[in-house]
Chain A
């Protein structure tokens, strides 16, 4: 990473953006925590105690971890770009949460947020990611798809397979804080890189502001089009500002590799296909990601990544791999078994309805995907999904035959111990 970074420092286009960060640019971006220079401290009219939010009715990770002491320590700080703690926590203050679903309740406005506000973000990360301690642990990145074993599912059960992640462009602020110019720069950089993809990855970009009605209809029919966010979790964090400026969708001609630009993250990268060939989906995912990375590096850019937190994204819940690998799978009998939830837990999997998060299952078809994001590599997580789904299918088959399911042992290679009673639900 360091050598390509020095190329960035010398690239004329970027000097303007990076120079304002001050003299410690290099140190800052190498992200040893002690070296990040915070922006000029704010001058407040009221003491921290008068500004501390009322979190008595709140149930999110931010509210659980933001003590008055931490607030007092951080409330006068700002990142080099001027992003503040109040901005980071606004979404969590405005959205108290749900008694059963524990949301994160804060976002990062830029890469430096994870450093400048580490006193709050580290405990939030630890709570959300099952005990992963950013102060001492390292996150493994592994996009070598050849390591995947038996990744082709029984298509009588698995209807479709999909892997998604996000990537942020280093040097540009994240969606909660980016200016219009930065957002347009993200679009330019990514679209330019994507135009260099070849072979089965050859594709086209559809800008939200410029697409024709026909193109829009086609994207809707393909279930590719994303809408202006309506969820207050996102709008309260400022991610819908200036919509639809510099937002768009890119996909390859085969419609198996799709990239969202400037939605909740700089980019969301999705590989998918009908059927059960998760191995091929993941192989394309890795190949596509690496190729995009190479193309942006040629132009002097790189992704936000560090060895503490892996890939840096807007929401702390997506740190690490930012990866959600999942299938739509028919489990009508198993899903009615009272042991279903517990089985999923022990497999480190989660279920959703086929409309995505917070929807109900239809016709016994579930969206099954990995729970974890940080602390395990992409290969490990996808393998976990593959092994887990194969097991679930075995259970379904046994139930079909009138046999009882064989309970699996809950051993899986989880480096950060699953804390009993941590209770977080994604």
Chain B
């Protein structure tokens, strides 16, 4: 690809590092913890072939100082090459975020659903729904913080071609955000499928909402169990879900669907962005590796009020969210429980942790219902 000159960056180089270095004194995010004048000085003269610079990478983290309790990443990639060109900044951030993952580590990808043990017997009286999501980036295009309208439309076009060729349980339909009927929109809202223009400044300050809703859309299969978001926070977000606790089935559909889609993109010479160090390449460094969040909505009213609840989750390598998603509160003792890890373990391993961990917590909940102690059941750190 021909290199694109970033004239604005050349212009900025006339100013000194001290003059340009951001004020991060009130900041609490991964970027702010890692970035110093030395790293900034080394990286500020560089740009990726498509013209993405270190200031572009960090803008969202500069604009969003963060939260005293929640540690956001504070940076994004503009293209596949960002992770290489800005290694000096991104490698330490990746290490902090992903449990000490080293620049020399290799990430294992395993989308062989048959390797998952169990997962078809989670008690539906407790486990209300099961879901696995990930993201995929299409090689040869830049990422949402940086892509132009032409590129975004190119991604949409390719995605529609790939998805409309799916058949069997994957046969479905695409709904472009800028063209769906009122009735279609209502239905998608009712199904909880419709995604909105991002309002979170974490995303808007990174430029991901530009040109909304141009080339954005939702595809789902007729059964409403397999859903793809096009051009939201990543090129593609792929979701497999269903009511009840049969995570095994959800994961199988997830793996099969993903592999079918990938084959079609590969045929067009636009496979998915992936490498053996970082796994699947996505916009936010927090989603590298598998990009997978596998989880359930599960009723744990008693367990969740136990003082050891957080500790149990940590040891099981799980995290909790409210049922509205990240940063929401739980309602009626129902929690969204999912894997905490993304990079350094495979898809099968991460979903296995969810399946095993949730099974254990449901048993704990049942014990507490009977008034019995769960002290003997506390797991070791996984």
Contact = CB atoms under 8 A, between A and B. Distances in A.
Contacts of A236: 210
Contacts of B8: 78, 81-83, 177
A336 to B, nearest CB: 38
A150 B381 CA distance: 83
B148 A51 contact: yes
A94 interface: yes
A40 B7 contact: yes
B211 A94 contact: yes
A184 interface: yes
A414 interface: no
Interface in A196-238: 209, 235-236
A69 interface: no
Contacts of A46: 148, 150-151, 154
Interface in A170-189: 177, 179-182, 184-185
Interface string A44-68: 1111001111100000000000000
A182 B15 CA distance: 8
Contacts of A179: 11-12, 15, 20, 55
A51 B147 CA distance: 11
B191 interface: no
A402 interface: no
B150 A181 contact: no
A45 to B, nearest CB: 7
A411 B318 CA distance: 75
Interface in B120-162: 148-151, 153-154
B154 A180 contact: no
B178 A82 contact: no
B2 interface: yes
A335 interface: no
A243 B21 CA distance: 14
B1 A235 contact: no
A296 B203 CA distance: 39
A420 interface: no
A379 B22 CA distance: 42
Interface in B182-211: 204-205, 209-211
A91 to B, nearest CB: 10
A40 B5 contact: yes
Contact of B150 (A40, A50, A241): A50
Nearest to A93: B211
B14 A20 contact: yes
B150 A81 contact: no
Nearest to B21: A180
B20 A181 contact: yes
B212 A94 contact: yes
Contacts of B6: 82
Interface in A75-125: 78, 80-83, 86, 90, 93-94
Interface string A32-43: 000000011011
A222 B288 CA distance: 49
A362 interface: no
B331 interface: no
A245 B14 contact: no
B199 to A, nearest CB: 10
A17 interface: yes
A42 B55 CA distance: 19
Given A90-B210, A241-B63, A181 B12 contact: yes
Contacts of A50: 149-150, 153-154
A421 interface: no
Contacts of A159: none
A78 B20 CA distance: 22
B62 interface: yes
Nearest to B178: A54
B19 A16 contact: no
Contact of B19 (A80, A177, A184): A184
Contacts of A245: 22-23
Contacts of B3: 43
A336 B209 CA distance: 42
B148 A53 contact: no
B39 interface: no
A8 interface: no
Contacts of B204: 235
A93 B2 CA distance: 27
B304 interface: no
A47 B150 CA distance: 8
B63 A240 contact: yes
A42 B210 CA distance: 20
Interface in B7-42: 7-12, 14-16, 19-23
- Looking at B12, B154, B212, which has the most chain A CB atoms within 10 Å of its CB? B12
A387 interface: no
B225 interface: no
A240 B151 CA distance: 26
A86 B8 CA distance: 14
Contacts of A44: 148, 150
Interface of A: 16-17, 20, 39-40, 42-47, 50-54, 78, 80-83, 86, 90, 93-94, 177, 179-182, 184-185, 209, 235-236, 240-243, 245
24 contacts: A43-B3, A43-B4, A50-B153, A51-B149, A53-B149, A53-B214, A54-B214, A80-B7, A82-B7, A82-B8, A82-B9, A82-B10, A90-B211, A93-B214, A94-B211, A94-B212, A177-B8, A180-B19, A181-B15, A182-B15, A209-B23, A241-B205, A245-B22, A245-B23
Given A46-B154, A82-B8, 17 more contacts: A16-B14, A17-B14, A20-B11, A42-B4, A45-B1, A47-B150, A51-B150, A54-B214, A78-B7, A81-B8, A94-B209, A94-B210, A179-B12, A179-B15, A181-B20, A185-B19, A241-B62
